[in-house]
Structure 1
Amino acid sequence: MKFLILHGPNLNLFGRREPHIYGTMTLAEINTRLTALAAELGVEIEILQSNHEGVLIDKLHERIDEVDGALLNPAGLTQHGVPLHDAIKAMPFPVLEVHMSNIAAREAWRAHSIISPAVKATLQGLGWRSYTMGLRALVEMAAEARQSKAT
Structure 2
Amino acid sequence: MSSLLVLNGPNLNLLGTRQPDVYGRTTLADIEQMCAAHAKALNVSLSFEQSNLEGEMIDHIHAAKGLHDVIILNAGAYTHTSVALMDAISSVELPVIELHLSNVHAREEFRHKSFIAPVALGIICGFGARGYTLAMDAAVNHLEIAR
TM-score if structure 1 supplies the norm length?
0.94
Query: SS in structure 2 opposite 1:139?
Result: helix
* Correspondence 1:52 to 2:53: yes
- Given that 1:89 and 1:119 are in contact with CA atoms closer than 8 Å, whether structure 2 keeps it comes out as no
Q: How many residues align?
A: 146
Q: Give matches, 1:51-90, under 5 Å.
A: 51-90=52-91
* Correspondence 1:13 to 2:34: no
Query: SS in structure 2 opposite 1:36?
Result: helix
- Cα deviation 1:95-125 (Å, max 9, x = unaligned): 0000000001001111111111111100000
**Structure 1 spans left out of the alignment, 5+ residues:** none
* Letter paired with 2:144: A
Distance 1:109 1:140 in 2: 31
* Letter paired with 1:69: V
What's the % identity of the aligned pairs? Answer: 40
* Correspondence 1:27 to 2:31: no
Distance 2:98 2:64 in 1: 18
Distance 1:59 1:36 in 2: 22
TM-score if structure 2 supplies the norm length?
0.96
User: Is the deviation greater in 136-145 or in 95-104?
Assistant: 136-145
Runs of 4+ in 1 over 6 A off after TM superposition: none
- Given that 1:15 and 1:24 are in contact with CA atoms closer than 8 Å, whether structure 2 keeps it comes out as yes
Distance 2:69 2:145 in 1: 11
| CA-CA distance at 1:129 after TM superposition | 1.3
RMSD, aligned CA: 0.9
